[in-house]
Every structure is written in C-alpha cells, then in structure tokens.
C-alpha cells in the first residue's frame, strides 16, 4: 500500500534572548486574563497600554505596574520606542484601521481572527506588506503546553504517520460575556474553532477541501451559529474532523474538550481544559500511548491560558532578534487559516449532497 509519510515539522516554543519592550493596544478581558499574566510570567517588559476606554487601560497599568496608559493608539505609538513590539488586541473589525497608526517597519502581534472575513484578511495582509510590518497573528493554541509536548512527540517520530485527528468540544460557553458577539454574523468558527482549524494546519498541513455545517442553538436564539461539524479532507489515509457544541448545559459529567491524534506508532490525547467550567477552566492534560502499550499521563507544566501567550509573543520576538528563522503564525501563514474559515462557511451555506431516492413500487 502506498501510504503517504510526509507531514509538517511542528513548531516548538521559542523565547527571545533579549526581549523587546511591549506596547499593548487594547485593554479588554483577553489582555487582563491572558496577555498580561503571560508576560509577567515570562518577565517581559510591558511599557505601555492603550484603550479607547482610558480608565480600563489605567486600571491595568496600575495593577501590572506598566509605565504609561493612553486613551488612543496614536498616543501610545508616539510614546513607544523604535524597537517596541505592538500587541494589538482589538476586535477583528478594528484591526485594519488600527494597523494604519503603526510606524512603517514596526513589529506587531495582532489578536485573532485576522479580520471578520477573508476579504478583510487580504486587505490586512496587503497593508502589512505595504507598511513592511513584521506581523503575526495570535493563534496561540499552537503553543499550549500540552500541545507543544504533543508536537515534540510527533517531531521525534514517536507517533509515526498521523492518520486520525479528532477534536471535540461539548460545553457551556457563556457567549453573553462578550458584548460585541451579540450582533456578529459569524461567531463560533470565526472566534473559536478557528484555533482548531489552525492547529490542524500546523500538525497536518493544508487540507485539500472541507465539508462543514454550522448551526444555531435554541439556547441562544439571538446569536449566530455556535455549533459546528467540520471534516477536513487530507486524502484517503487521514480522517480529520472538528465537532463543537457550545450549548451543553447539562453539567460536567458528559461535557468534553479534547484533541486526539492517532498515528502508526502511537497516540496522544490532550484535554483542552479552558473550555470546561469556563471561565474558571480545568487543567490541561496530555496522555500518550505507544503502539501496543498503555496510556500514561505526561507532565506538561501549564495551561493554554495564559501560558500559550508566551509562545505566540515569544515566536515573534525570537524572529525579530534572529534567534529563530521561522515566524510560524506570520500574516503570510495566517491568511491560509482565514481562507479555511471562509471555506467552512461557504461549505455550510452550500449544503450537502442531495440524497437520491428511487421508488421500488
């Protein structure tokens, strides 16, 4: 049998030898709960923070002992030194306009998604090229400690050829916590499963095509689709799918959040604990089983929130200083994740193959 054997080398964690100063543009919940705790843990200098609601920026400035806070991006850019790295954490609809304030040649890590549509993502890509920005997108799930460990196992050959990628999420997600999502025409895939699509690309490469259906939930009738089933086509030797249900409100016993990889030599099962009992979350875990052996739990030392955010900023800063020659989630790579998101929605809108019915009467 002619089984394909080539799959991507998986990026591992990177940290700069000499971290550059960070200026954060946006002071919302993700910055409070993940960005700032991650940078404090890594001991990286955050020297400025800005938000249109200046009191929010001032509150985080005081809590994290940041040098300055500002009420606009323009003020923060005027203050920032030439070697600053901008951490852009604004809603997707504001990314394009926000980037226009940055100096030409600047470095920026922008929050996902890279715009609300593929058209916006292409505009963002073109602007980054025009302004010569060293730009990456914060697809930080790639650097969750348990998934980094899984990637190391894959790179070492301990898993062998990956022939099965299964990612399931069934939980209660309080979408009402994010006001801007109330009127979003695209929700679950664009703002959540985009991480899982990006992970599949990082681990398996580019799929040939996608089959998908996204649906709304009667628990949240005013919201866009919050549930999805996505099958990624990697040919005849790889099964790859993502299934999410964010309206399972029947308690923890039968809620789940995991990715399982099966290969020709071994398998890994990683719990993505942040989705369970959100926003408190449960611990991330990683189990490994060699072919013919038993499952055992591996030590991983951290969780998706906030530890993975060290990886995304660290990869950008390492690339800037030259200690790494790869920028895994550069805008040139991220545009392909955005294209995959677009394909998911197009597949869902197009509908499946009609079922033929022949009468025998």
- How confident is the model over 187-223, as pLDDT tens digits? 999 999 999 999 999 999 999 999 999 999 999 999 9
In the predicted model, is pLDDT for residue 149 greater than 80? yes
Output b/e per residue, 282-298; b: 16+ Cβ within 10 A.
Answer: bebbbbbeeeeeeeeee
- 85 contacts 19 by C-beta, under 8 angstroms: no
For position 14, what pLDDT does the model report? 85
- What percentage of the chain has pLDDT greater than the value 70? 97
In this structure, the chain runs to a length of 361
For position 177, what pLDDT does the model report? 84
Kindly report the CATH number that applies to the domain delimited by 145-302.
3.30.360.10
Same fold across 22-140+309-328 and 145-302: no
Query: Which residue reads 């200690």 in tokens?
Result: 323
How far is Cα 268 from Cα 100, in angstroms, rounded to an integer? 43
How far is Cα 166 from Cα 231, in angstroms, rounded to an integer? 10
Among residues 268, 225, 59, 246, the alpha carbon closest in space to that of 171 is found at: 246
For position 11, what pLDDT does the model report? 74
pTM for the predicted model, two decimal places: 0.95
For position 201, what pLDDT does the model report? 97
The residue extents of the domains of the chain are: 22-140+309-328, 145-302
- CATH 3.40.50.12780, domain 22-140+309-328, yes or no: no
In the predicted model, is pLDDT for residue 334 greater than 90? yes
Q: How confident is the model at residue 358 (pLDDT cuts 50, 70, 90)?
A: low
In the predicted model, is pLDDT for residue 133 greater than 60? yes
Higher pLDDT pick, 4 / 318: 318
In the predicted model, is pLDDT for residue 1 greater than 60? no
Per-residue pLDDT, averaged over 100-109, amounts to 98
177, 183, 187, 192: CA torsion to nearest 10: -30
Sheet bearing 85-88, strands edge to edge:
68-70, 46-50, 22-25, 85-88, 107-110, 134-137
Q: How confident is the model at residue 3 (pLDDT cuts 50, 70, 90)?
A: low
Of 7-11, 91-95, 336-340, the least confident? 7-11
**183 Cβ contact list (under 8 Å, min separation 6):** none
Per-residue pLDDT, averaged over 75-90, amounts to 98
Supply the angle between the helices 331-350 and 194-204 in degrees, to the nearest 10. Answer: 120
């Amino acid at each position: 049998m002619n089984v394909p054997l080539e799959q991507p080398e998986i990026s591992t964690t990177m940290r700069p030898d000499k971290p550059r100063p960070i200026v954060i543009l946006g002071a919302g919940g993700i910055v409070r709960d993940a960005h700032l705790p991650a940078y404090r843990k890594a001991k990286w200098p955050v020297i400025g923070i800005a938000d249109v609601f200046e009191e929010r920026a001032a509150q985080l400035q005081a809590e994290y002992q940041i040098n300055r806070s500002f009420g606009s991006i323009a003020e923060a850019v005027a203050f920032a030194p030439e070697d600053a790295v901008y951490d852009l954490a604004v809603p997707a609809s504001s990314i394009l306009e926000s980037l226009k304030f940055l100096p030409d040649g600047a470095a920026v890590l922008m929050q996902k998604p890279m715009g609300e549509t593929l058209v916006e993502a292409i505009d963002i890509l073109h602007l980054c090229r025009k302004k010569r920005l060293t730009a990456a997108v914060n697809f930080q799930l790639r650097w969750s400690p348990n998934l980094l460990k899984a990637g190391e196992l894959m790179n070492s050959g301990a898993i062998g050829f990956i022939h099965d990628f299964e990612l399931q999420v069934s939980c209660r997600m309080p979408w009402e916590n994010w006001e801007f999502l109330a009127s979003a025409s695209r929700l679950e895939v664009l703002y959540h499963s985009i991480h899982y699509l990006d992970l599949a690309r990082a681990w398996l490469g580019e799929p040939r095509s996608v089959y998908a259906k996204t649906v709304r939930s009667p628990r949240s009738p005013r919201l866009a689709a919050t549930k999805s089933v996505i099958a990624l086509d990697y040919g005849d030797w790889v099964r790859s799918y993502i299934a999410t249900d964010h309206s399972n409100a029947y308690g923890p016993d039968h809620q789940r959040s995991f990715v399982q990889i099966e290969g020709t030599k071994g398998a890994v099962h990683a719990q993505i604990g942040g989705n369970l009992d959100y926003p408190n979350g449960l611990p991330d875990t990683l189990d490994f089983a060699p072919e013919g052996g038993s499952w055992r739990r591996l030590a991983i030392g951290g969780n998706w929130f906030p530890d993975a955010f060290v990886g995304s900023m660290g990869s950008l800063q390492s690339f800037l200083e030259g200690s790494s020659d790869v920028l895994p989630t550069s805008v040139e790579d991220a545009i392909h994740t955005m294209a995959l998101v677009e394909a998911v929605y197009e597949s869902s809108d197009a509908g499946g193959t009609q079922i033929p019915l022949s009468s025998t009467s």
